């Protein structure tokens, strides 16, 4: 094995030399990748942080895992990404689209595009193999289906996945982050609980990331059961809203495309996930100090948003009053939560709903993402997502024009009905109704809405009206979020 | 083949002077010609449910009859159906549409005679059309001589033919099925001074299958009609044959044992004939009626898939494939020689027993806006009014019926989009006379209109002057011609009847896509792709067809070749409520 877990010895090994030679090509290739998050920044330099050969360098195809660090001309923080590099002396035609560049007598390409490579990775996991610093680990209790080769999933954003038949999906985490990825961690925990609310974990690839204090563990990829024949909750909710808005005068409970039954089942699913996470990883109770810290954290986020979003600044004090509502209770039960829940993180399968993607908000540091929080954070986030679904079509209405008031009213009815159905379903399983802690729920929801206002101000001004509207409503509502 | 030597003999029971019970033998009648034995005909067949009394009246008495039906066989052959299913045509007081049988070996006089029936089967067979008939094994009419004898003479040969009890408390776990009319499963008989058991109406006492004589009598009734030449039975209400304490009286092992016995009679004496179970149960329970999977199935050849039907309606209303995907995912594998029977509508109400309470409320709200549209736990409407006469939806629903796994059963009149009459009592609203022409009585009968057994539908949208066979025969764009073409296309592709079913999923939850695939004895593959848009809005869908990379798609209604399947997901766009049927073929087969 050529690699040494990412540390670069005094003597440059041949693969390092190959990769170094490839860096200019990578620099050109990188901005075209969907998972490359920093599209609005200009790359200053790309350097190799570490690599590990998976096969001998002269194998056909050869595979290596590499971590690169990207620095930018704005002198902001570096981004680190994981690559799985395949190389062959000659490239089959169907891999042309994945080419990164030439290195020596070989063509180097994005390895996940190569069915033979995805087949190899799967078999390494199934056979519980260690290659240098890379550990290919099957989950105990589960038997990974041997159904390579994999096929790249094309629609993905922040990570890259390959699907094996309709049995398994392997996700390569593109961001290289030290520590156990919460997606893997929570799926493992939920697997121990035999959760029926997530796609069962089948295995993982774990590696090391070079750091100032020596190598740290890093999650490279995870292998899960594939939820065949599923559709995501976001697009299903939009279908329902579209159906409502196309009707002349029917109310949400009267139209064929009513989503409340699904929202209700989804509430039950999320409550089950919370119960399983609590059972697997424990709960704790924050006292007054802990709750105050949560409030402070929200207020801090508020002030950051105020600085950049005038709409937030205008209502800053009123918002702060609602956010302090989180301290209404003398304590708060916290546990591990999903952390970035929305309709797009749910899958409807023929057997019911699944929650997916437990990474948390990717833009937040890992410490934040793994910090126990109230399950109400997830509930509030789902409530926000129902608002988004309700008003999404109206936001696309036309630039600069506002949708007619009667459509806005009907969208609001849809949101109210489905938020309410979600909470009903949640309460059935959880045993307590999230709306019983209205002040806390409202604070969490407003905290999320403030973040959304900031995000939309920067990224999608067309959509800004959605969280703005909710923010105003949450601030002015006398006794809590409507419909929830 | 049956050589005729196994005919059930005439049976005579003399209970006491003046009370002689004589049952005729098949020997007493001519027999219909037979079609060649084909092992899997029922898997490839399109069935057509026809009510004798509602189809055609040959003798101007206002009642459809067997001779009238025989006269219309050319139409049914033209339509392309393979097998007719006749609900009961036996002698009956008609208090339950003929499901209250008074004599298992006699034809209802209004319909004709056994000789007329044999002629009908013979003529159907001459056109390559098979015939199956309903048989109600669970109960008889209270006017059946067996019941009359049983109540009169508890010690006589029929004394134990029914389920009698001194009180009405036994089997409390058995649900009441006809909740609209019945308060109990027990009714007191003043003649015998005991209560009798009935799972359905109180004028339909349940037979006592614990009495071996009842089992033998029922099997002899099967033989009687099989000897005359029919191709099989639809067995009505099979889950309820036996009763046992501490159970709900459904799907009992004893019931299955009796069905195995019936099947053995078919296998040994009448190869090529079939048993079709009506068991309104969840698929996981219904598969039991196919019998032992190891043996390839040793009870019924077919069973109706009840929960699928309401879910097709729900899926389209919800614009989501999941109501259908869910029920198909919950449907277990069936033995290799078994087949589901699927339908959109039949002579009963749109049954909602197999949906949850929430879903039922929803279905009522969507499809039964007037309380009169409800009956028992269901909705009494025909297909076209259920779909607001929307041609696109009628076509989508029919395309689903003809392509989902199972043999489709078309309800008479739905091929022309007939309407219903919700003002008629019970389930008669969907049993009105077939509309043949715009003439008097819709061409169903030349009798005085006042004599009609049930009135013709006369409303401005569905009335016989607007909706009839003659007019639609003359218009190539009619629903009738469309249905005929679809049946023909289905016939050309064995995958529809015999193929595996594989749902493709896809990111668009409004689109239901599946592949049907079969390989014949010569190794020739037939692969059909069906894509259905449950939404009223146009939809795109990307399908994972990588398993057929480089194969080509040919649309089946027009034969237009579509682009070959490549590396990327296959993109299709569908109009609102649109559907496609494609044949997938290896490139060299083009």
Q: What is the DSSP string of A258-318?
A: --HHHHHHHHHHHHHHHHHHHHHH-EEEE-HHHHHHHHHHHHHHHHHHHHH-HHHHHTHHH
**In this structure, are B289 and B382 located in the same domain?**
yes
Interface mutation vs chain A, best among B283, B318, B362, most A CBs within 10 Å: B318
Contact B186, B165 (CB under 8 A): yes
Active-site choice (B236, B348, B395, B414): B236
**In this structure, are B320 and B394 located in the same domain?**
yes
Whether residue B162 lies inside any domain: the answer is: no
Query: How many domains are contained in chain B?
Result: 2
Q: What is the pLDDT of residues B140-190, one digit of tens each?
A: 999 999 999 999 999 999 999 999 999 999 999 888 888 878 889 999 999
Active-site choice (B110, B206, B231, B278): B278
Distances (CA, A) of A288 to A46, A285, A291, A466, B450: 47, 10, 5, 33, 85
Interface mutation vs chain B, best among A258, A350, A424, most B CBs within 10 Å: A350
Instruction: Mark yes or no for CB contact B508/A231 under 8 Å.
Output: yes
Average pLDDT value for residue range B260-265? 96
Nearest CA-CA distance, residue A280 and chain B, Å: 30
State which residue of chain B sits closest to A344, comparing Cα positions: B507
Instruction: Mark yes or no for CB contact B568/A154 under 8 Å.
Output: yes
**In this structure, are B511 and B575 located in the same domain?**
yes
**In this structure, are B449 and B565 located in the same domain?**
no
Nearest to A242 among B330, B503, B537 (CB): B537
Strand ranges across the sheet with A62-72: A43-53, A62-72, A79-88, A106-110, A99-103
Helix (H, G, I), strand (E, B) or coil at A165: coil
Whether residue B279 lies inside any domain: the answer is: yes
B590 vs B571: which has the higher pLDDT: B571
**In this structure, are B466 and B511 located in the same domain?**
no
Q: In this model, does residue B363 exceed pLDDT 50?
A: yes
Most confident of the ranges A89-98, B479-488, B498-507? B479-488
Whether residue B189 lies inside any domain: the answer is: no
Q: In this model, does residue B361 exceed pLDDT 90?
A: no
pLDDT at A401: 67
Q: In this model, does residue B357 exceed pLDDT 50?
A: yes
A150 vs B559: which has the higher pLDDT: B559
Average pLDDT value for residue range B424-429? 74
> Which region among A128-137, B10-19, B527-536 has the lowest average model confidence (pLDDT)?
B10-19
Distance between CA atoms of B521 and B501, rounded to whole angstroms? 19
Is B236 noted as a catalytic residue in this protein? Answer: yes
Q: What is the pLDDT of residues B114-128, one digit of tens each?
A: 999 999 999 999 999
Contact B245, B254 (CB under 8 A): no
**In this structure, are B437 and B519 located in the same domain?**
no
**In this structure, are B284 and B406 located in the same domain?**
yes
CATH code for the domain in which residue B339 is found: 3.20.20.80
pLDDT at B231: 97
Whether residue B291 lies inside any domain: the answer is: yes
**In this structure, are B261 and B319 located in the same domain?**
yes
**In this structure, are B553 and B428 located in the same domain?**
no
pLDDT at A406: 86
User: Chain A residues within 8 A (CB-CB) of chain B?
Assistant: 94, 151, 154-155, 166, 228-232, 235-236, 239-240, 242-243, 246, 254, 256-258, 261, 348, 350-351
**In this structure, are B542 and B441 located in the same domain?**
no
Neighbours of B204 (CB within 10 A): 26
Last residue of a domain, one of B449, B467, B490: B490
Whether residue B199 lies inside any domain: the answer is: no
pLDDT at B22: 79
Whether residue B152 lies inside any domain: the answer is: no
Q: In this model, does residue B509 exceed pLDDT 70?
A: yes
Q: What are phi and psi of A367, to 5 degrees?
A: -55, -40
Distance between CA atoms of A357 and A344, rounded to whole angstroms? 10
pLDDT at A483: 47
Q: What is the pLDDT of residues B434-466, one digit of tens each?
A: 999 999 999 999 999 999 989 999 989 999 999
Helix (H, G, I), strand (E, B) or coil at B524: coil
Nearest CA-CA distance, residue A275 and chain B, Å: 25
Instruction: Mark yes or no for CB contact B509/A243 under 8 Å.
Output: no
Task: For strands B47-49 and B83-86, give the pairing.
Answer: parallel
Distance between CA atoms of B528 and B44, rounded to whole angstroms? 15
CATH code for the domain in which residue B563 is found: 2.60.40.1180
Q: What is the pLDDT of residues B31-76, one digit of tens each?
A: 999 999 998 999 999 999 999 999 999 999 999 999 999 999 999 9
pLDDT at B180: 78
B508 touches chain A (CB under 8 A): yes
Distance between CA atoms of B447 and B457, rounded to whole angstroms? 16
Interface mutation vs chain B, best among A155, A231, A241, A347, most B CBs within 10 Å: A231
Choices 3.50.50.60, 3.40.630.30, 3.90.1200.10, 3.40.50.720: CATH for A231-476: 3.90.1200.10
pLDDT at B10: 58
Nearest to B509 among A155, A166, A236 (CB): A236
**In this structure, are B410 and B539 located in the same domain?**
no
**A343 conformational bin, left if phi > 0, alpha if psi -120 to 50, beta if neither:** alpha
Alpha-helical regions (H) of B32-72: 41-44, 52-55, 66-71
DSSP B417-446: T----TTSSTTGGG-PPP---SSGGGGS--
B501 touches chain A (CB under 8 A): no
pLDDT at A248: 72
Instruction: Mark yes or no for CB contact A239/B503 under 8 Å.
Output: no
Whether residue B503 lies inside any domain: the answer is: yes
Contact A356, A239 (CB under 8 A): no
pLDDT < 50 regions, chain A: 1-12, 480-484
pLDDT at A140: 80
Last residue of a domain, one of B455, B470, B490: B490
Which one, of A441, A411, A449, lies nearest residue A423 by Cα? Answer: A441
Is B488 noted as a catalytic residue in this protein? Answer: no
Element (H, E) at B283: helix B283-286
Q: In this model, does residue B374 exceed pLDDT 70?
A: no
Contact A384, A449 (CB under 8 A): yes
**B94 conformational bin, left if phi > 0, alpha if psi -120 to 50, beta if neither:** left
pLDDT at A145: 63
pLDDT at B371: 58
Nearest CA-CA distance, residue A44 and chain B, Å: 34
Whether residue B3 lies inside any domain: the answer is: no
Range of the domain at B242: 11-141+212-490
**In this structure, are B440 and B544 located in the same domain?**
no
Element (H, E) at B104: strand B103-107
Nearest to B510 among A230, A239, A350 (CB): A239
CB < 8 Å to B316, chain A: 256
CA dihedral B425, B429, B430, B435 (to 10 degrees): 130
């Amino acid at each position: 094995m050529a690699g040494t877990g990412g540390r670069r010895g005094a003597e440059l090994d041949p693969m390092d030399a190959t990769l170094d030679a490839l860096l200019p090509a990578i620099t050109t290739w990188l901005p075209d990748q969907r998972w490359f998050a920093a599209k609005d920044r200009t790359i200053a330099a790309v350097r190799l942080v570490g690599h590990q050969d998976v096969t001998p360098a002269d194998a056909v195809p050869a595979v290596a895992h590499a971590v690169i660090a990207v620095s930018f001309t704005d002198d902001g923080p570096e981004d680190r990404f994981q690559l799985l590099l395949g190389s062959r002396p000659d490239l089959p035609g169907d891999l042309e689209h994945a080419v990164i560049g030439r290195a020596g007598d070989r063509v180097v390409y994005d390895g996940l595009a190569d069915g033979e490579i995805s087949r190899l990775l799967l078999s390494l996991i199934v056979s519980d193999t260690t290659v240098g610093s890379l550990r290919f680990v099957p989950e105990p209790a589960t038997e990974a289906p041997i159904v390579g080769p994999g096929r790249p999933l094309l629609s993905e954003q922040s990570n890259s996945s390959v699907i094996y038949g309709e049995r398994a999906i392997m996700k390569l985490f593109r961001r290289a982050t030290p520590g156990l990825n919460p997606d893997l961690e929570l799926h493992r925990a939920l697997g121990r609980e035999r959760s029926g609310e997530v796609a069962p974990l089948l295995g993982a690839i774990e590696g090391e990331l070079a750091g100032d204090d020596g190598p740290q563990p890093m999650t490279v990829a995870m292998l899960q059961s594939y939820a065949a024949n599923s559709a995501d909750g976001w697009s299903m909710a939009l279908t329902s809203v579209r159906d409502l808005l196309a009707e002349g005068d029917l109310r949400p409970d009267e139209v064929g495309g009513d989503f409340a039954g699904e929202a209700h089942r989804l509430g039950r699913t999320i409550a089950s996930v919370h119960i399983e996470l609590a059972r697997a990883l424990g709960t704790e109770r924050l006292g007054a100090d802990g709750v105050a810290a949560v409030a402070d954290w929200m207020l801090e986020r508020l002030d950051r948003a105020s600085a950049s979003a005038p709409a937030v600044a205008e209502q800053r004090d009123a918002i702060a009053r609602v956010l302090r509502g989180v301290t209404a209770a003398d304590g708060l039960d916290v546990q591990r939560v999903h952390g970035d829940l929305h309709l797009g993180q749910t899958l409807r399968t023929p057997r019911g709903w699944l929650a997916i993607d437990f990474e948390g908000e990717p833009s937040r540091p890992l410490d934040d993402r793994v910090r126990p929080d109230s399950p109400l954070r997830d509930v509030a986030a789902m409530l926000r997502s129902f608002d988004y679904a309700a008003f999404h079509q109206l936001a696309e209405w036309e630039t600069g024009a506002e949708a007619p008031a009667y459509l806005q009213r009907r969208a609001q009815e849809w949101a109210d009905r489905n938020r309410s159905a979600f909470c009903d379903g949640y309460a059935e399983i959880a045993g307590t109704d999230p709306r019983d802690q209205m002040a806390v729920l409202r604070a969490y929801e407003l905290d999320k809405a403030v973040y959304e206002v900031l995000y939309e101000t920067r990224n999608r001004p067309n959509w800004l009206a959605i969280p703005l509207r909710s923010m105003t409503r949450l601030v002015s509502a006398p006794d809590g979020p409507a419909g929830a | 083949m049956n050589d005729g030597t196994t005919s059930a003999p005439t049976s005579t029971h003399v209970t006491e002077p003046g009370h002689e019970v004589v049952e005729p033998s098949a020997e007493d009648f001519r027999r219909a010609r037979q079609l060649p034995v084909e092992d899997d005909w029922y898997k490839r067949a399109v069935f057509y449910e026809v009510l004798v009394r509602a189809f055609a009246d040959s003798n101007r008495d206002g009642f459809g009859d067997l001779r009238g039906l025989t006269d219309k066989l050319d139409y049914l052959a033209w339509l392309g159906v393979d097998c007719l299913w006749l609900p009961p045509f036996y002698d009956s007081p008609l208090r339950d549409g003929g499901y209250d049988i008074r004599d298992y070996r006699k034809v209802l006089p209004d319909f004709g005679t056994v000789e007329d029936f044999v002629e009908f089967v013979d003529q159907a067979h001459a056109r390559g059309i098979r015939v199956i008939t309903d048989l109600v094994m669970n109960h008889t009419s209270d006017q059946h001589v067996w019941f009359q004898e049983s109540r009169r003479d508890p010690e006589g040969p029929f004394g134990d033919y029914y389920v009698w009890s001194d009180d009405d408390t036994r089997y409390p776990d058995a649900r009441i099925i006809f909740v609209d009319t019945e308060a109990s499963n027990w009714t007191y008989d003043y003649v015998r001074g005991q209560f009798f058991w009935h799972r359905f109406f109180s004028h339909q006492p349940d037979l006592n299958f614990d009495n071996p004589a009842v089992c033998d009598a029922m099997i002899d009734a099967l033989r009687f009609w099989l000897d005359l030449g029919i191709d099989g039975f639809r067995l009505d209400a099979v889950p309820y044959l036996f009763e046992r304490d501490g159970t709900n009286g459904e799907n009992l092992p004893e019931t299955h044992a009796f069905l195995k016995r019936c099947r053995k009679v078919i296998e040994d004496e009448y190869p090529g004939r079939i048993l079709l179970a009506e068991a309104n149960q969840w698929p996981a329970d219904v598969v039991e009626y196919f019998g032992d999977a190891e043996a390839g199935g040793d009870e019924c050849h077919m069973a109706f898939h009840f929960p699928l039907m309401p879910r097709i309606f729900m899926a389209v209303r919800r614009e989501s494939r999941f109501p259908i995907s869910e029920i198909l995912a919950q449907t277990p594998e069936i033995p290799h020689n078994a087949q589901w029977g699927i339908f959109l509508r039949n002579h009963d109400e749109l049954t909602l027993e197999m949906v949850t309470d929430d879903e039922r409320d929803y279905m009522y709200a969507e499809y039964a806006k007037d309380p009169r549209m409800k009956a028992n736990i269901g909705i009494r409407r025909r297909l076209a009014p259920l779909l607001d006469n929307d041609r696109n939806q009628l076509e989508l629903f029919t395309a689903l019926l003809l392509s989902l796994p199972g043999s489709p059963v078309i309800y008479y009149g739905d091929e022309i989009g007939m309407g219903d009459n919700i003002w008629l009592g019970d389930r008669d609203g969907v049993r009105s006379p077939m509309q043949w022409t715009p003439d008097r009585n819709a061409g169903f009968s030349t009798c005085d209109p006042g004599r009609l057994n049930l009135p013709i539908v006369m409303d401005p949208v569905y009335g016989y002057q607007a909706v009839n066979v003659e007019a639609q025969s003359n218009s190539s764009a009619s629903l009738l011609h469309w249905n005929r073409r679809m049946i023909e296309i289905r016939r050309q592709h064995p995958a529809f009847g015999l193929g595996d079913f594989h749902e493709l999923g896809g990111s668009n939850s409004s689109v239901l896509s599946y592949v049907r695939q079969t390989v014949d004895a010569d190794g020739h593959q037939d692969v059909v792709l069906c894509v259905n848009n449950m939404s009223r809005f146009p939809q795109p869908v990307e399908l994972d067809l990588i398993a057929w990379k480089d194969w080509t798609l040919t649309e089946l209604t027009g034969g237009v070749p579509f682009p070959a399947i490549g590396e990327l997901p296959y993109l299709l766009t569908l109009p609102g409520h649109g559907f496609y049927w494609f044949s997938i073929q290896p490139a060299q087969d083009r």
